[in-house]
Amino acid sequence: MMNVKAELRETNFFTRYYCHVCGGCTEKVAILTEVPDGEYEGFRVCERCLEAGDIPAKMCKHADELNEFAEELRKLAPALEVPSRDEYQAAERRYEEKWRAAEAVAE
Ligand SMILES: [Zn+2]
């Protein structure tokens, strides 16, 4: 496989971005380390992984964790029970009504 080069780029959107190396997130940093184009465009390395080094070992550890998670997902898939979309929307309405009532008391 040819080498893939991650480069430093500025961002003006300060949020936490997913790190593909460790599965964690960046802090709200100004500089991101990302692959700019090609097959792995957007592959990101957080500042903590950069600082700690040994990126290949971290990637392999994360890949093992993803494999374990994939097994858990397959096991859980037929058993997971979730609320309906209607139940979700009703909960949202109750939440909004609760906060509107609290605002009305505050005014
Ligand atoms: Zn990381």
Which helix (H) or strand (E) segment holds residue 79: the answer is none
* Rounded mean pLDDT, 7-30: 96
Per-residue pLDDT at 33: 98
Q: Where are the domains of the chain?
A: 7-106
Q: Given a cut of 90, is residue 6 above it in pLDDT?
A: yes
Distance from residue 57's CA to the centre of ligand 1 (Å)? 12
pLDDT digits (tens, 9 = 90+) for 20-40: 999 999 999 999 999 999 999
pLDDT digits (tens, 9 = 90+) for 38-54: 999 999 999 999 999 99
- Please report, rounded to a whole number, the percentage of residues in the chain having pLDDT higher than 90: 93
Q: In angstroms, how far is CA 51 from the centroid of its own chain?
A: 20
Distance from residue 40's CA to the centre of ligand 1 (Å)? 16
Phi, psi of 48 (to 5 degrees): -70, -40
Per-residue pLDDT at 77: 98
Distance from residue 52's CA to the centre of ligand 1 (Å)? 9
* pTM for the predicted model, two decimal places: 0.78
